[in-house]
Amino acid sequence: MFAFLVAVPLHAQTAEKNISASGNRYLEICSSNEKPQAQLNEMDFLNLGLCQGFMLGFHDGIGTAIAILQLNDSSLSYLKNSMEDIKICTPAGVENGQLIRVVMKYIRDHPEQAHEPAAVLVVKAELNAFPCPVTPPTPRPKQ
């Protein structure tokens, strides 16, 4: 019974924080990632899960959206169903926690954009941090 009484107010507090609403909400929720583990409270643990889940879901959602587009348009079969399709080339070994920190840094470095939806800022931050290499156009054979 006690666990239920503690969980209800925590759930209500988390539900009020729509992480996708803005960069401001993203920072508010994801800043729990910066606390030492020994200092985390119950709300911080909920925020950690919410933040990590948002980032994982966002990246999975990009692949899903591209797959749906491909179902409706076979000319898009060349797409990889990944962030590379939107010109973000995250190096191997980059973990979810690092992506979270990259986005938090971007929002802090661009406070004039913090009102924008979190998903938009995730794309901007990752494009800034992990742009795909620019490949020069293939020269056409001379005729």
Tell me the pLDDT of the chain (143 aa) as tens digits.
444 444 445 455 545 679 999 999 999 999 998 998 899 899 999 999 999 999 999 999 988 888 898 888 888 888 887 888 889 999 999 999 999 999 999 999 999 999 999 999 999 999 999 999 887 666 666 66
Residue 51 lies in a domain: yes
Residue 139 lies in a domain: no
Q: Which domain holds residue 24?
A: 2-129
pTM of the model: 0.78
Residue 68 lies in a domain: yes
Partners of 88 in the β-ladder? 131
Residue 135 lies in a domain: no
Residues in contact with 40: Cβ distance below 8 Å, sequence separation at least 6, in sequence order: 32, 48
The alpha carbon dihedral of 29, 87, 69, 115 has a sign of: positive
Residue 142 lies in a domain: no
Angle separating helix axes 118-129 and 96-109, nearest 10 degrees: 100
Domain count, the chain: 1
Q: Which of 112, 94, 123, 128 is nearest to 20 (CA)?
A: 123
Residue 143 lies in a domain: no
Residue 21 lies in a domain: yes
User: Residue 138 has what pLDDT?
Assistant: 63
Residue 136 lies in a domain: no
